[in-house]
Amino acid sequence: MTGLLDAPWFYWAVGVAIGFPVLLILLTELQNALRRRGSVLTRPVYLLRAYILPLGALLLLLVQAIQVNGEATPVRIVATVFGFVVLVLLLSGLNATLFQGAPEGTWRKRVPSIFLDVARFALIAVGVALIFAYIWGANVGGLFTALGISSIVLGLALQNSVGQIISGLLLLFEQPFRLGDWVDTATARGRVVEVNWRATHIETVAGLQITPNSVLAGQSFTNLSRPEGAHVITVQTVFALNDPPDDVCELLTRVAATLPQLRPGVQPSTLPLGGTEYATTIPLRSPADDAAARSTFLRWIWYAARRAALHLDEADDDFATEERLTASLRIVAPALRLGPGEESELVAHARLTRYAAEETLQFAGEVPRRMSFIVNGNVKLFVAGDDGEVVPVRTLSRGDFIGQTALTREAVSASARAVDEVTVVQVDREHVEELVARKPLLLQDIGRTIEDRRRSARRALAAVRD
C-alpha cells in the first residue's frame, strides 16, 4: 500500500478521476444557467465543457498517469487537438466578451467585421505556428520570414489599391456615416447605399455615384442625417420692396407650417435678409424630403402670395378680373340662390382666388370668416382619426361650398384639401348674412349642409373605429 501511495502516477490518476466529474458537473450547471439568461458566454463554456475538459483530462492521463513519452505520436495527436480547441475557445471567448455584448455607440460596436476577420486570421496563424513549433518541433521561422518579404513586395506593387483599402478600413472603423445616411460631398449629394473596402456608393438624383474611400478620407463632407432630428433646409424668396416685411414673414412661415414633410413638434421660421429677400428655415424629418419640400413650398407660396395681395418675385397678379369674377359668380349662383342679374350685385363683395393641389383650404376646428364656393377643381373633406390617420369624408366639386359655419360662428368639423388646382369665389361673413336675410331658403340650405357634413364626419370616424 505504501508503494502505491508513493507512485508518481497515483495522485494524477486520483486527481483526474475526482476532478474531471466534479468540473464536468459544475460546467454543465454554468452552461444551463447561461443558456437560460441568453448570455453570449454560453458557447465558450460549452467548448470548455465538451472538448477542452475531456481532452485535458486525457492528456494528463497519458503523460502523467500512464507516463507515455511526450514525443509519442498518440500524445502529440491529442495535444494538437487540444491546442486547436483552445484556439477556438480563445477566438469564441474574445468575440463574445469584447464585441457581441458591446453597448451601442462604443468603439467595440463600431469595429468593422473586416477588422475582426483580419484579427482572427492573425490569431489562428500564430496559434497554428505555436502548435507545430512546440508539439511537432517544426521550424516556422523561415515561413514567417518568407511571408514578411512577400507582403513587402506585394505592398509596393499594389500600393495604390492597398492605400484605398486602408482608407476604406479606416473609414469603416470611424463610421462617420451609416447605410441610409444622407451625405453632401464635393462630388455628390445623396443617400449612402453601400460601403465596401474600396469605395462608397451614393444614390443621387442623377444615378449611383461611386466615390473612392481615399477621396472621402482626404476631404471634408457633411452628414445630413446626423445628429438625428436636426435636418433643416433654407429657402430664399424675393418679394416686392413695397410689401410689408411682417406680412411676408407671416405668410411664408404659415405656408411652411402646413408642409407634409415638416418635422413634427418643430415650427419653421422666416427672416428678412434686407431689401427684397427673405429666408425661410424649414425643419424636415429626413434629407430625403428636401426636393419634395422645397418644390411644394415654392408652389404653394405662389398661390398664397396672390391670395394675400403680395408680390412674389415682384410680379403682379391679373387673374381676378371683373369679367372672370362675374362669370364665376354665374357658376355658383345656384348655390347662393341668386336670380338672373343678381350676381352683378355681388361682384363688389366677392373675391376670386386659387389654391394649389394638395393645399389646405380649411382646418378642422377653425371658425371660418368667409364662405368659399368652388368654381373649378375638386376639394376633399377629411377628419383625423384617433391615431392621427386621415379619414376621408367626401369630395366636393364645382358648385359646392366650404366654410358653411361662418354664419353660426362655429368650428368646422372637417378639414378641406385641394385635390387639384382649385378656383373659388369667397364671400365674407357679413355679406353672406345680408344674402340670407333676403333669402331665407339659403339659410335653410346652409343649415342642412352643416348637419349633413357633421353626420358624414361622425359616420366616417365610426367606420374606422369599427
Would you say residue 268 has pLDDT above 70?
yes
The range of the structural domain enclosing residue 252 comes to 232-307
Angstrom distances, CA of residue 78 to CA of 75, 89, 99, 256, 400: 5, 16, 31, 75, 92
| Cα–Cα dist 216/199, whole Å | 9
Residues 334 and 456 grouped into a single domain: yes
| pLDDT computed for residue 169 by the predictor | 67
pLDDT for the residue numbered 51: 82
Examine residue 421 and state whether it is found in any structural domain, yes or no: yes
Q: Domain check: are 448 and 388 in the same one?
A: yes
* CATH number of the domain to which 197 belongs: 2.30.30.60
Which pLDDT score is estimated for 196? 73
The larger pLDDT score, comparing residue 52 to residue 383, is at 383
Domain CATH for 237: 3.30.70
Do residue 378 and residue 398 come from a single domain?
Answer: yes
- Asked if the structure places residue 104 within a domain, the reply is yes
Q: What are the pLDDT digits (tens) for 36-49?
A: 888 877 888 888 88
Report yes or no on 122 lying in a domain: no
pLDDT in tens, 117-151: 667 777 877 878 787 777 777 666 665 565 555 55
pLDDT in tens, 49-97: 888 888 888 877 777 767 777 678 787 888 888 888 888 878 777 777 6
- Does residue 150 lie in a domain region? no
Please say if the pLDDT value at position 34 is more than 50: yes
For residues 235 and 223, the model is more confident at 235
Give the pLDDT confidence of 327-357 residue by residue, as tens digits. 999 999 999 988 887 888 888 889 999 999 9
Which range in 102-111, 177-186, 233-242, 284-293 is most confidently predicted, on average pLDDT? 233-242
Residues 255 and 203 in one domain: no
Alpha-carbon distance of 244 to 278, in angstroms, equals 12
Asked if residue 276 belongs to a domain, the reply is: yes
In a shared domain, residues 431 and 361 = yes
Looking at the fold, whether 302 and 357 belong to one and the same domain comes out as no
Is 345 within a domain?
yes
Pull the grid cell for residue 257: 407650417
Q: What share of the chain has pLDDT > 70, as a percent?
A: 84
The verdict on 286 and 392 lying in the same domain is no
* Domain match, 332 and 456 both: yes
374: enclosing H helix or E strand: strand 370-376
pLDDT of residue 148: 58
The domain boundary, picked from 223, 248, 281, lies at 223
Dump the DSSP string for 238-270. Answer: EB-TTS-HHHHHHHHHHHHTT-TTBPTT---EE
Mean pLDDT on 25-32: 87
Q: What is the mean pLDDT of the chain?
A: 83
Lowest-confidence segment of 135-139, 356-360, 361-365 by average pLDDT: 135-139
Mean pLDDT of 417-439: 93
pLDDT digit string, tens, across residues 158-216? 455 556 666 666 766 677 887 788 898 888 889 888 877 678 889 988 889 888 877 88
Task: Determine the pLDDT at residue 158.
Answer: 46
279 in helix, strand or coil? strand
Q: Which of 111, 129, 161 is the last residue of a domain?
A: 111
When pLDDT is averaged across residues 274-301 and rounded to a whole number, the result is 93
Is-contact 52 89, C-beta < 8 A?
A: yes
Looking at the fold, whether 341 and 435 belong to one and the same domain comes out as yes
d(CA 447, CA 408): 9
Looking at the structure, tell me whether residues 328 and 389 fall in a common domain: yes
Poorest-confidence range of 40-49, 300-309, 419-428, 452-461?
40-49
Same domain, residue pair 17 and 53: yes
Residues 236 and 216 in one domain: no
What's the full length of the chain, in residues? 466
Longest distance between any two alpha carbons in the chain, whole Å: 135
- Domains in the chain, number: 4
Note whether residue 169 is domain-resident.
no
CA distance 385 to 131: 70
The CATH number assigned to the domain holding 385 equals 2.60.120.10
Of 57, 82, 111, the domain-final residue: 111
Side chain identity at 289, as an amino acid letter?
Answer: D
